[in-house]
Each structure stands twice: as C-alpha cells, then as structure tokens.
Structure 1
C-alpha cells in the first residue's frame, strides 16, 4: 500500500480500539454482530496472479450493518431447507449441526436470506464484497487480520489435495477478529452478493460490484486450499449454480446499499466486430501446405488480459462467417488456480490471428480442458472443465452456446454438475449420424486412466454416459471394458455406426519388446469397447493426437512418431517420391480409406523447408526440415467446407489439404 491517506485511516481505526462488539441472536439462533460504518483500503498490490486485487482503493462503508458471527451452520440452514440434510457428510464433509453448511449454490443462499427476511420482517441478504473485506480486516492492513501470517490453529489442511481430505467444519473454534467475527480466513469460502469484475481506481462508497457477469464473488478461502487464498484481499468466484464441499456463506441483516452497480466488463477482442454474413466457400483442389504460424499471440499488458507462461491444450472450430476460433488455457502451472481460457480469431480473408483475449474464466478455479464444436446448423458449442479449486481431478462440466459466430455466448450451464473424475474435457467433440453430440473426457488424472464418453441426444440440453459405473479399466488385447483405452483420445463414427478411437498410453504389447497405440472399437455407441493394438507407435507426455473423418470420406489421424526421451524406438519410416524409404521424426498424418482397417498413407507434416519454430508449452523451439516435424504438442483440428484442414498444436497453426497429404 502506498497511499498515505489510506495508511492513516487504517492506523486510526486500530488506535481507537476498533469497534465495540454488540451481539444479538435472531429467531433461528444466528449470532449477529454489529459492524459499524467506516473507511478502509480495499485490495492489494501483489502481482500478476493476484492482479484482480488491484488497484488498492479507498472504500467507505457508510452505514452500520449486522453480520452473522459465524458461517451459517447445517442446523440453521435446514430450518429453511430440511431436505439439505441428505447432503450432510457428502464426500466426508460437514456432518454435524454446528458445522458450516456446504453444497449450497448462490441462488440457494439468496433464497435462505429471502426466507429469513419474510420470517422476521427484517432485511437479510448476502454481504457485498466490500462489506465482507471490511469486516474481515477489522481495521488491519495486513494479509490476515492476525498479521501477515495465519496461526496454525486457524489452518485446516492449507494445501491442495487432489482427493479432498475431510476435516471438521465446526464454526467458532478459534479466536474471532476484532469485530467479533469467526472463521473469516478459511473453514469454508463464503458467497458474496456481487458479480465478479475488475476493480476501478478512486475512492468509493458502498460499492456493489458489476451489473452482470459470469461469476459471483466468494471470499475467505477454505480448507484443502493453499493458505494464500485465505488472505483478506483474495478474490474468488463461482458460477451461481455451482456448489461443492468448499463453499458456504454468512449473512448480513441490513438494507441493501442503493449504490448503482458498475457496468459489465467490456467485450473481449475476439467477440468484437464479428461479421455475421454467411461465408461463400470455394473448394481448394490444388495440393498445398502453408508454413506454420503462431496463433497464440501475447496480448499487450495494458489490455488487462491475464496471460501466463504456459499456453496449452487448444480447441478449434470454424464459424459460418468463415472465421476460425481457437481457445486454450493460459496458466503458470497446469494445476494452478490462476488458469484462464483465452481465445483468438482468424478472420475470413486474413492471414494473421487476433491477439489473445479472455474467453472463459472462473476466478481462482482451475479450468482444464476445452472443446469447441460447430454443428453446421448455425450453433457453436463451448464445453469446459471447471474445478472446485486447483488441480484437475474434481471437475464439473459447463457448456455455452453461440448463434452469432461467437460474438456473444449464453451463460454457462452445468451439464455435469458434480465435481468428480471423468470430466476433464478433450477437444475433438463430434456429432454422430444419429444427431447425438459426443464429448470425450479423460477418465482419470493418472497417465493410464482411459477416456470416458458423454452423450447428448437433445442438442446439449441433457447429457448421459453410455457406460455403467463403476468401470474397472482392463486395457488388454481382446479385452472388453466401458472406457476408451488411453487418455486424450480421439473418436470417429464408422459408416456402419460403430465407434473407433485411438488414445495416448494404455499401450498394448505385440511382442516382448514392441508396444503399439491402442485402438478401441464400440458396437453399442460407447457402452462397451474392445481393445486391440493399432499399427501406430505410442505417444506420451506433451502429446495429444487428432482423429477425425474428412469431408471427402477418409479417416485422418495426426500423431507423433515417438515420444522424445520416453521411447526406445525413435522415428518412423516414410517414403520419398522416388520410392526410397527414409526415417522421419515428429508429427505425421495417416489416412485410411477402408474405415480404419488399413492406413496406406503416412506423411510427415513438413514441406521440407528448414525453419526454426516455437511449439510453445512442453514443445519449445525445434527445427523443421525434410526429416523433422514438430516433436510434441497438444493437437486439435477442424476442416472447413472448402476442404482445407486447419490444425493447431500448442502454439502453431497449420493449413493443408487432402490433395497434399496424398502426394508421395
């Protein structure tokens, strides 16, 4: 903090003994504490991952309000909703009467407040974000109301656990802050009234957030969460419909401030000036392969777009206006809570991608896995994973739609609301000949966990899994199971209605020294799969394949000759135009003209020109030449009506066609 006036204000608050604590109990036993009016410094200046806490700004809370001394407990909440008792102990959390209630959505917390208001004839509501931070700080300017460290007694497993570890959520077991409020740092996150949005500079009185948004603010952090997320200034968010074991709420008894909300955030660059006329496609028949170019274009720091060092895991689709739309995650760590989904647009007739801009973000939540799909009837679909916290195991699945080429998107809908395994979204969704949408997801965060399938028979309104739980993977030659062998799988529907899939890992041995990528076949639309070795070499870390049917009919696989550093056999044999065989390394394409029985065309994805390229993410800088293509990358592809194949790796965009692939 570098504003002398704010320092003086906070100092005077502390020196005057802060506030006398007045308490009362309401009709359902909620202890209410009077929080008197005052002025404080809201936010922090901590750097890039916490940039949404800046700028620090002076906020005045002009009227006193009563706040519940603790988070609402199971007993108190069930006076409103007795049926919630069935969720006590879910995942091992919050079983007793005096534990903080969890598995409550924003709408349910608001409904509780409305019920209590009617019951008592007094206005109850959620705290605004500003009221919450003011009450939490209780006159302090440090990271926590206890100073710049949080005492061990107030900590409850303050690290990320891939499988959450149950801990008591009993309220008021440690000392309250100077205002008489308990558990403001941790125990459970707490819903606030505000739509999440960027702060504005300058002094403010009774701010109430933005007019609209995607996420509602949560504050305070929780158990099973690194301690830095429990700071007074830390901001988090959740989709209003979401609920899980980390989040509950506390209440305020006071009228709502009459302050006008700030405008909604301005639109992202990829949604602006989007053409709406239908594009006229001209079929390209001459063979071509364009030099790869970067599609991940770093935004200017002045744009406010979060952009981190690790950009990876893309999806791509074409739009009816002729544009291409690509999306990927940007983060410092793949298990990080700073992760955001960025997007870029290649506008029809242009040869340079737009600068990256925000596509999807739920603050302080991991959002691993993105899929984009155009149904060729005017609707774009975006499906994404959404963690309860960090890591990438306990994901829900959300979906958005756009009927105007991605210029605007519907609000996110939880299509798989449970935060659980088998929800890590993979690019490459498809629509079957029955008209069903198919979305693949990694079944387990381990490297050998298979791929799960989700199906919607009504254009995304409802989703189901074709397999019967539980599924025990047994990915052996000739075996049958409920999951696709290999993670990050690609799937196509064959002409006879069966499904064919290829994936990474779960490799099948063909002799004592040789393994092959597994191929999975389903004759019952994903309920069961049979496994066999394919003709292709396995792939591994930092690599994801593409499998799709081309407009012209053949099946296309794009994969890698080997996994650098993880394979005893490197490279594959390819044939030159003169018939001579050479050893090639890196990304290749294979074609099948008989529904996957044979793959007579295998071509290294290079035109032979020597180039030094940056593959980004886990790939880094590599040299492309006549025998070397991109060695790694997470791949995604689409094919436009002019039959051009558009392929993206973790950083690079490739453009070629079937005629080029069929050249010797």
Structure 2
C-alpha cells in the first residue's frame, strides 16, 4: 500500500479552517490537528485531508480483496471519539433519539461509547445534529473510515504491525482479558487525532455489505449495492481478538441488530 498527496497545502487547510469555524487545539494537547465543534453538545471532529491510498489487502482475509486504489478528493471531518453515552443523552433529552436510553450493560454510561444501537438508530442522532447545526452529518463510508484510521500509515495498525500491549481494548490487547468497553478517550490517538479506531466497539459505516471489493468505488462514496440489510462494521471491539482490529479488517451485521459491542462515530462534510 502507498499513500501519496494526502497533505493539504497550508493555504487550503487555512481555508477549510476558516470556513468550518475551527478552534485550534491547546498546545498542551496530544492531538496534532485542529478540531471542529459545531455546538457545545456536538461531537469534536478532526479534519482529514484529501489523498490517495490502497484500500484492503491481497494477502490477508478474502473479504479484504482485491486491494484497490481509492482517491479521497475532498477533505472531511470525522469524530475524534466514538459517540458517547453523554452525547447520546443530550439528543435523547431533547426528544430526538428515541423513547428509551440504550442499555449500558451495567458498565456505566458517561464517557463510554454508546452501545446497543442499531444502524437505523444512528440516523436519529445524525438527523438531530443536522437540525441543530445546519451542517451535513452522516456515517462514514467504509473507504473514509479506513483512510482516516490508517492516517497515512501502511501497517496493520496505525502504530505498527504488532498489537503490542495497552494500545487498544480487545481480548488480547493487555495482560488481562477485556470484558467491557472503555471510555472513548482511552489510549493514544492516531496521527490524525482519532481515538480507538482499533477496538473498543465496532463502528457502523454507511456501506451495504459485499463479500469482496470487486466492483467497489474508487472514491470516498459508500457502496450502496449488495446486501443492504447487512451493513459494514469496522474497528473490532473489546470482545474480539487483535486480528479483527486491523485497519483493513471488515465485518458485517444486520442493520437491525443491537449489541454491547457496536457503536459509531460521525462524519461531517466540509464546504
């Protein structure tokens, strides 16, 4: 895989920042990129620059084949964190996110990722953000998700080819087996400022399920052909082993499923 032309020119980045209403991160923050926060209740977002990358692999799982070039021709913003229970609670309290809070599996809510939400439930939250901000919020496409997760890297995980210890939340990611989700700001962020892109909870994407990349778009657009009752998930979760956390790993689930291992993060389109 190779990455090329992924950096915005300084002038282009300044234009995006000025148009999007961006507040730069504090100099003491470990994050490397300016962020967007459209309202006090809105998720914090990281700006992802345009570029070209190789999506998938030819040497690993059959679902990841064939490796193919994808062009991300426009910058976008994606959630720094998985959407938390705290964030969902605000939407719920305003009457836009259903009539019952999702089950936290007795782990606690707060800053843990919201779980037990269907793919369809995510649209309630996204519609609420659209109405509140006047901006276009949506689920990431599968291509956007992998591109943002890799953050210019070529390795299995953004930090390298080995899972290591205490870098993510999964079944074999630490000295003890994980039995639940962790707060959304756990562990270090990737080079583009995103937390928990490997593990913690699976993340819904917009794409319909296809077992290979044959016929897949070569752009950032979601794939909307195939089995649309099944939707693509990325990231892996606390329940799964590290092989399921790789940047290229793909999985599916019925869009109506609620699980203690599935959450999501948002994308916001830029001008």
TM-score relative to the length of structure 1: 0.34
The answer as to whether partners of 2:168 and 2:196 remain within 8 angstroms in 1 is: no
Instruction: Report the alpha carbon displacement of residue 158 of structure 1 after superposing the two structures with TM.
Output: 1.7
Matched, 1:67 2:81: no
What secondary structure sits across from 2:91 in the alignment?
Answer: coil
What secondary structure sits across from 1:224 in the alignment?
Answer: coil
CA deviation vs aligned residue, 1:168-199 (integer Å, no higher than 9, x gap): 42011211111111100001110000101131
CA distance in 2, matches of 1:189, 1:120: 26
CA deviation vs aligned residue, 1:385-407 (integer Å, no higher than 9, x gap): xxxxxxxxxxxxxxxxxxxxxxx
More strand by share: 1
Matched, 1:199 2:213: yes
Match of 1:40 among 47, 53, 67: 53
CA distance in 2, matches of 1:23, 1:37: 16
The answer as to whether partners of 2:83 and 2:113 remain within 8 angstroms in 1 is: yes
Match of 2:236 among 208, 221, 229: 221
The answer as to whether partners of 2:170 and 2:237 remain within 8 angstroms in 1 is: no
Change (3 A) 1:212 1:226: same
CA distance in 1, matches of 2:116, 2:74: 32
The answer as to whether partners of 1:57 and 1:201 remain within 8 angstroms in 2 is: no
The answer as to whether partners of 2:171 and 2:241 remain within 8 angstroms in 1 is: yes
The answer as to whether partners of 1:37 and 1:63 remain within 8 angstroms in 2 is: yes
RMSD: 2.5
**Counterpart for residue 224 of structure 2:** 210
What secondary structure sits across from 1:154 in the alignment?
Answer: coil
Instruction: Report the alpha carbon displacement of residue 157 of structure 1 after superposing the two structures with TM.
Output: 4.1
Instruction: Report the alpha carbon displacement of residue 212 of structure 1 after superposing the two structures with TM.
Output: 4.4
CA distance in 2, matches of 1:125, 1:165: 30
Structure 2 alignment gaps of length 5 or more: 14-31, 94-98
What secondary structure sits across from 1:75 in the alignment?
Answer: helix
The answer as to whether partners of 1:154 and 1:186 remain within 8 angstroms in 2 is: no
Instruction: Report the alpha carbon displacement of residue 84 of structure 1 after superposing the two structures with TM.
Output: 4.4
Structure 1 alignment gaps of length 5 or more: 1-5, 256-664
Q: 5 Å matches for 1:422-437?
A: none
The answer as to whether partners of 2:81 and 2:194 remain within 8 angstroms in 1 is: yes
Matched, 1:185 2:201: no
Q: 5 Å matches for 1:202-601?
A: 204-213=218-227, 214-254=229-269
Which stretch of structure 1 is more off in the superposition, 137-146 or 201-210?
Answer: 201-210
The answer as to whether partners of 2:83 and 2:263 remain within 8 angstroms in 1 is: yes
CA distance in 2, matches of 1:217, 1:25: 27
Change (3 A) 1:178 1:252: same
**Counterpart for residue 22 of structure 1:** 34
Matched, 1:125 2:169: no
Instruction: Report the alpha carbon displacement of residue 203 of structure 1 after superposing the two structures with TM.
Output: 7.8
What secondary structure sits across from 2:46 in the alignment?
Answer: strand
The answer as to whether partners of 1:57 and 1:203 remain within 8 angstroms in 2 is: no
**Counterpart for residue 547 of structure 1:** none
CA deviation vs aligned residue, 1:360-404 (integer Å, no higher than 9, x gap): xxxxxxxxxxxxxxxxxxxxxxxxxxxxxxxxxxxxxxxxxxxxx
The answer as to whether partners of 1:194 and 1:210 remain within 8 angstroms in 2 is: yes
**Counterpart for residue 122 of structure 2:** 109
CA distance in 2, matches of 1:62, 1:70: 24
What secondary structure sits across from 2:204 in the alignment?
Answer: strand
Change (3 A) 1:119 1:55: same
Instruction: Report the alpha carbon displacement of residue 26 of structure 1 after superposing the two structures with TM.
Output: 2.8
The answer as to whether partners of 2:102 and 2:116 remain within 8 angstroms in 1 is: no
Q: 5 Å matches for 1:51-62?
A: 51-62=62-73
CA distance in 1, matches of 2:75, 2:111: 27
The answer as to whether partners of 1:56 and 1:201 remain within 8 angstroms in 2 is: no
Q: 5 Å matches for 1:134-153?
A: 134-153=147-166
In the alignment of these two chains, the number of paired residues is 237
Q: Which has the higher contact order (CA 8 A, sep 6+)?
A: 2
CA distance in 1, matches of 2:257, 2:213: 24
CA distance in 2, matches of 1:165, 1:153: 11
Instruction: Report the alpha carbon displacement of residue 87 of structure 1 after superposing the two structures with TM.
Output: 1.5
Instruction: Report the alpha carbon displacement of residue 241 of structure 1 after superposing the two structures with TM.
Output: 0.4
Instruction: Report the alpha carbon displacement of residue 125 of structure 1 after superposing the two structures with TM.
Output: 0.3
More helix by share: 2
Task: Tell which structure's C-alpha radius of gyration is larger.
Answer: 1
Instruction: Report the alpha carbon displacement of residue 155 of structure 1 after superposing the two structures with TM.
Output: 3.3
What secondary structure sits across from 1:80 in the alignment?
Answer: helix
**Counterpart for residue 96 of structure 1:** 109
CA distance in 2, matches of 1:13, 1:119: 31
